[in-house]
Amino acid sequence: MLTCAVILLPPKGIAVFFLRHPLAVQSPLSLSLSSFFFSLSLPRPSSRASALMALCRRRPRAALKHAASQFELLKPSRPALSSLIGAARSAAPSSSVLKLIGGPRADWVGRTPRRFESTVAEKLPRFTNGVAGNLAMDFPGGKVAFTPEMSFISESPEERAHCYRVLDEDGQPLAHSSFIQVSKEVAVRMYTEMVTLQTMDNIFYEAQRQGRISFYVTSIGEEAINIASAAALRFDDLVFPQYREPGVLLWRGFTLQEFANQCFGNRDDYGKGRQMPIHYGSNKLNYFTVSSTIATQIPHAVGAAYSLKMDKKDACVVTYFGDGGTSEGDFHAAINFAAVREAPVIFICRNNGWAISTPTSDQFRSDGIVVRGQAYGVRSIRVDGNDALAMYSSVQAARVMAIGEQRPILIEALTYRAGHHSTSDDSTKYRPANEIEWWRTARDPVSRLRKWIESNGWWSEEAESELRSNVRKQLLHAIQVAEKVEKPPISDLFTDVYDVPPSNLREQEMVLRETIKRYPQEYPGDVPV
């Protein structure tokens, strides 16, 4: 059935949308038309409008003729037309808009982008304190006050931005600290997952040292950022990770076997063994696959957040990145884009002091990352990343603001990379071993949370040893299983990118197969050719 929407363009133009999409014959088009007539300030579709709507659906040509005779009567404003076109376009894909007959002002018809109107922008203050209104002038972007003084804005604040913390080093709440209460169940689960992550890191790291896997990256020292932030999110929130946040996946239910399968690159790895270890991803768990190309996930996260906003979803996007990630252009482009489009995205920067061997003093001269939020018009907070309760509270509050007020939020979590950058690194070559040791012991986020749950009477020495021994057993079992699972077939190396593989790829596959046949001893025997 052919359905059409007729739009009158004053003074004489007529745009006709012929919609073939199955949805178009149902209510959305009628709704579009109703909203159109509604936007013409008719209290509800008048009988004339209703008749026209019915005519549109049954006899498009007659409707067109009728509309042409009525254009003097209905003179919709440009915004009214835009909203109708937007509604009609979202009711049917653009490929089903078959014909557009334009009048004098029809050049812009059909090109209305599906933009989301501004909601609650962080409006700049109109005047600075104490300056009279008549000394202010409208410049592009708003009024700015004049001053007779020639004063440069200082490159650094008088005082560094404070760091929000709930628990002291002994796991006791600071006096007057404000935080979101955590139930016994959530607190114990957070602690359990932090221990699991720590144990997984130790065992997988050793497996790499034994030559069983090719590479590994630990999250040691950053367990609270991983687990407490994950606990504060909801499952529908989309995660765009860097690579040092496997705890978020763990919290969402990625099994130890799934972690092991990825690290061993076996046939059960979702990436089909085509990525290095630690490049986890799970469609099912709303966790986008790790891309080790630093900061590329940040613009993706903002785009996804903008789409959640357009779809009016009750969810946000969370993206993680390191201090090194903020030196990439992608970070700056993404945070600015998020601010301007008011996208519901939480940026969590793990400022762990190092980007491999580059200290933060060689990365930036600003007071860390948190101050950049204000520069881009993004609400921000600096948090003690080794304090699970502070992380939990700030991420939960950020989520409420991001979704409720449709805005981006930046969290700078201060921490320390207590392990080497990866198994390809020896960090004692560029930082003192006793500094690493101090962070591993005195500042360990896992034992800090343990002290707090113990002081609440929620944890015991017995529970501790049972947990550690169980997790260790499960991990060793997962590794043994993953190691025995067959590797993905060679053909998988060449699939999933092109619908029809190009000739150079086919040639490469042929050469690879011939080389394996010629030198079988050089290739693992467990890879099906």
Ligand X SMILES: Cc1ncc(C[n+]2csc(CCOP(=O)(O)OP(=O)(O)O)c2C)c(N)n1
Active site residue ranges: 206, 292, 421-422
Calpha distance 221→245 (Å, rounded): 11
CB 288 within 8 A of CB 296: no
Q: Does 368 bind ligand X (CB under 6 A)?
A: no
Nearer to ligand X among residue 92 and residue 295 (C-beta):
295
Choosing from 27, 119, 147, 292, the residue that interacts with ligand X (CB under 6 A) is 292
Calpha distance 502→509 (Å, rounded): 11
Instruction: Give the position of tokens 């109708």.
Output: 84
Q: Which range in 142-150, 178-186, 292-300, 372-380 contacts ligand X by CB under 6 A?
A: 292-300
Q: Does 277 bind ligand X (CB under 6 A)?
A: no
Choosing from 2, 23, 100, 356, the residue that interacts with ligand X (CB under 6 A) is 356
Nearer to ligand X among residue 3 and residue 229 (C-beta):
229
Q: Does 348 bind ligand X (CB under 6 A)?
A: no
DSSP conformation class of 287: B
**If contact means CB under 5 to 8 A according to the sort of partner, which of Mg ion, ligand X, none does residue 487 touch?**
none
Three-class SS string for 406-427?
CCCEEEEEECCCCCCCCCCCCH
Nearer to ligand X among residue 306 and residue 321 (C-beta):
321
Q: Least distance from C-beta 300 to ligand X, angstroms?
A: 14
CB 218 within 8 A of CB 201: yes
Q: Does 118 bind ligand X (CB under 6 A)?
A: no
Q: Does 322 bind ligand X (CB under 6 A)?
A: yes
Q: Which range in 14-22, 323-331, 447-455, 516-524 contacts ligand X by CB under 6 A?
A: 323-331
Q: Does 487 bind ligand X (CB under 6 A)?
A: no
Q: x/- string (CB under 5 A) for Mg ion, residues 301-330?
A: ---------------------xxx------
Q: Does 325 bind ligand X (CB under 6 A)?
A: yes
Nearer to ligand X among residue 199 and residue 360 (C-beta):
360
Name every residue whose Cβ is closer than 8 Å to that of residue 26 and which is 6 or more positions away in sequence.
Answer: none
Token reading at 497: 């990118």
Following CA atoms 371, 377, 383, 388 in sequence, which dihedral angle do they give, to the nearest 10 degrees?
Answer: -160
Q: Does 273 bind ligand X (CB under 6 A)?
A: no
Helix (H) or strand (E) holding 3: strand 3-9
Calpha distance 117→102 (Å, rounded): 26
Bridge partners of 350? 322, 413
Token reading at 161: 């931005």
Q: Does 352 bind ligand X (CB under 6 A)?
A: yes
**If contact means CB under 5 to 8 A according to the sort of partner, which of ligand X, Mg ion, none does residue 309 touch?**
none
Q: x/- string (CB under 5 A) for Mg ion, residues 341-380?
A: -----------x-xx-------------------------
Q: Does 244 bind ligand X (CB under 6 A)?
A: yes
Following CA atoms 198, 203, 208, 209 in sequence, which dihedral angle do they give, to the nearest 10 degrees?
Answer: 110
Calpha distance 384→375 (Å, rounded): 22
| CA distances from residue 327 to 307, 323, 356, 385, 409 in whole angstroms, order as listed | 26, 7, 13, 20, 19
Nearer to ligand X among residue 179 and residue 243 (C-beta):
243
Choosing from 57, 399, 421, 450, the residue that interacts with ligand X (CB under 6 A) is 421
Q: Does 416 bind ligand X (CB under 6 A)?
A: no
Q: Does 417 bind ligand X (CB under 6 A)?
A: yes
CA 389 to chain centre: 22
Q: Which residues contribute to the site for ligand X (CB under 6 A)?
A: 244, 292-294, 321-325, 350, 352, 354-356, 417, 421
Q: Which residues contribute to the site for Mg ion (CB under 5 A)?
A: 322-324, 352, 354-355
